[in-house]
């Protein structure tokens, strides 16, 4: 793929939306206070999460930061092979989500690399997330659906043959070996 502007624009848009909502939450909300939007189903509640999803690994913030860096690099690496604009957009959304939470881990309290992620969207008291989390989960769901529908997401890497590629090298006279 050539680096499509859609990839970078989507990533930047998600980062801006994520960081803007986090700044708003930190300024407007009191930690722990719950503000119902749709009864108990959806509410706003400021928390700082040192762990991953469901606060797993809350004692391993540095490890989570390193994993987030690796995931971010992996998204950029694989996005270069995006097969179509829609897949570049999905990778851009995933990158924006990963970077949004990585910014928190790197630059928020208590210290560099051990920052707590700002979460504020409470889903029926099951878990609390943020815009970056929505982007990451949404992109993952889109990729799973694409796989179930057999939609190509990535172009074959150099030296690999895609599903549509002939098994043999092209004939020297240019004829299609498949007939």
133, 163, 164, 176: the catalytic one is 133
Six-digit token string for 47: 């928390």
Q: 3-state class of 127 per DSSP?
A: strand
pLDDT digits (tens, 9 = 90+) for 23-49: 999 999 999 999 999 998 999 999 998
Q: Which domain holds residue 56?
A: 5-148
pTM: 0.80
User: Is 169 inside a domain boundary?
Assistant: no
Return the DSSP state at 159: T
Give the pairing of strands 42-49 and 127-129: unpaired
In terms of Cβ atoms closer than 10 Å to its own Cβ (0-12, 13-18, 19+), residue 81 is: middle
pLDDT digits (tens, 9 = 90+) for 145-179: 998 998 888 877 676 665 544 444 554 555 544 44
Total domains in the chain come to: 1
Q: What is the pLDDT of residue 84?
A: 87
User: Is 92 inside a domain boundary?
Assistant: yes
User: Is 159 inside a domain boundary?
Assistant: no
133 flagged as catalytic: yes
User: Is 174 inside a domain boundary?
Assistant: no
User: Is 162 inside a domain boundary?
Assistant: no
18, 33, 104, 119: the catalytic one is 119
**Distance in angstroms (rounded) separating the CA atoms of residues 54 and 127:** 6
173 flagged as catalytic: no
pLDDT digits (tens, 9 = 90+) for 49-107: 876 554 554 555 667 778 889 999 999 998 888 888 899 999 999 999 999 999 998 99
User: Is 155 inside a domain boundary?
Assistant: no
Identify the residue whose tokens are 């029926």.
124
User: Is 171 inside a domain boundary?
Assistant: no
């Amino acid at each position: 793929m050539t680096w499509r502007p859609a990839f970078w624009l989507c990533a930047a848009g998600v980062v801006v939306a994520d960081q803007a909502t986090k700044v708003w939450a930190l300024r407007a909300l009191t930690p722990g206070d719950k503000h119902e939007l749709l009864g108990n189903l959806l509410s706003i509640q400021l928390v700082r999460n040192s762990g991953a999803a469901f606060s797993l690994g809350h004692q391993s913030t540095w490890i989570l930061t390193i994993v987030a860096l690796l995931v971010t690099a992996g998204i950029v690496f694989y996005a270069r092979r995006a097969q179509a604009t829609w897949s570049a957009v999905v990778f851009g959304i995933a990158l924006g989500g990963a970077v949004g939470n990585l910014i928190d881990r790197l630059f928020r309290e208590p210290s560099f690399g051990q920052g707590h992620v700002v979460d504020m969207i409470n889903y029926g008291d099951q878990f609390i997330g943020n815009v970056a989390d929505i982007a990451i989960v949404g992109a993952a769901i889109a990729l799973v659906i694409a796989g179930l529908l057999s939609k190509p997401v990535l172009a074959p890497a150099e030296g690999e043959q895609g599903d549509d590629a002939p098994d043999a090298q092209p004939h020297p006279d240019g004829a299609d070996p498949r007939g």
